[in-house]
Amino acid sequence: MPGEFVVVHKGLLNMVDTPEQLLGVLAHELAHETQRHMIRQRIAAEGSLAVFGVFIRGKQATGSVLGMGSGILVIQGFSRQNEAEADAVGWKYLVAANINPHGLIESFEKLKVEEDKFGFGRFVPQSLNSHPALSWRIATLDKKWKALGRTNEFIDLPPITWAKSTNAAEERLKVPFDFPKKKRAADGDDE
């Protein structure tokens, strides 16, 4: 997110079964930040839309629509490239930290099950997706796993201990905010 924030939501916590799966997702998301994807995508989006708008714009609205559509396809290509890069860089972070990177593959496999269950892949052509196909991402990381040559010399992380919610009412994030009350200067204290 803007401001260099990575937000973990309860849906992710409910999905993962191991700390390695959670850390795999976090490594991927942190790689987006370290690789400056948001800034790079913003620059690419602004630049491509301007270029397509200048060269394709005509007297009719059709030219502008084609320009915008072409710009969107370019943006989506950059986004898929960023996702693939975040997978690779996140993988490197996990290996360097001696955390089993197979958790990232397992997280993608869990997402693939959900995607197949709801049929998301049938409705949107891959050329319009912002992310590479999960099957491609899993296969790519599986090749990295096989090339790694080690599968059991990683840090032994304790199991996840948070309770997984099944009640929709429990899904709401409850953050207790206890804002200190400001004292007025008249009370004798400066703010």
- What is the pLDDT, as a whole number, of residue 120? 63
- What is the pLDDT, as a whole number, of residue 176? 44
pLDDT of 104 higher than 80: yes
* Tens digit of each residue's pLDDT (9 = 90 or more) over 4-28: 777 888 888 889 999 999 999 999 9
Q: Is residue 159 part of a domain?
A: no
- What is the pLDDT, as a whole number, of residue 174? 45
Q: Is residue 87 part of a domain?
A: yes
pLDDT of 98 higher than 90: yes
The whole-chain average pLDDT of the chain stands at 74
Q: Is residue 166 part of a domain?
A: no
**How many other C-beta atoms can be found within 10 angstroms of the C-beta atom of residue 57?**
15
- Lowest-confidence pick of 72-86, 96-110, 143-157: 72-86
Q: Which secondary-structure segment (H or E) carries 39? A: helix 37-56
**How many other C-beta atoms can be found within 10 angstroms of the C-beta atom of residue 91?**
23
Helix axes 19-34, 61-96, angle to 10 degrees: 130
- What is the pLDDT, as a whole number, of residue 184? 46
Q: Is residue 14 part of a domain?
A: yes
Q: Is residue 188 part of a domain?
A: no
Identify the domain containing residue 48 by its residue range: 10-150
Q: Is residue 165 part of a domain?
A: no
- What is the pLDDT, as a whole number, of residue 44? 63
- What is the pLDDT, as a whole number, of residue 139? 95
Percent of the chain with pLDDT over 90: 31
Report if pTM > 0.75: no
What's the DSSP call for residue 85? H
- What is the pLDDT, as a whole number, of residue 37? 73
- What is the pLDDT, as a whole number, of residue 165? 65
Q: Is residue 139 part of a domain?
A: yes
The structural domain count of the chain equals 1
Contact 130, 80 (CB under 8 A): yes
pLDDT of 105 higher than 60: yes
- Find the mean pLDDT for residues 125-140: 75
C-alpha triplet 165, 169, 172: angle, nearest 5° = 80
Contact 160, 19 (CB under 8 A): yes
3-state class (DSSP) for residue 129: coil
- What is the pLDDT, as a whole number, of residue 43? 65
* Tens digit of each residue's pLDDT (9 = 90 or more) over 81-95: 888 999 999 999 999
Q: Is residue 104 part of a domain?
A: yes
pLDDT of 107 higher than 90: yes
Query: What distance in Å separates the CA atoms of residue 37 and residue 134, rounded to the nearest whole number?
Result: 19
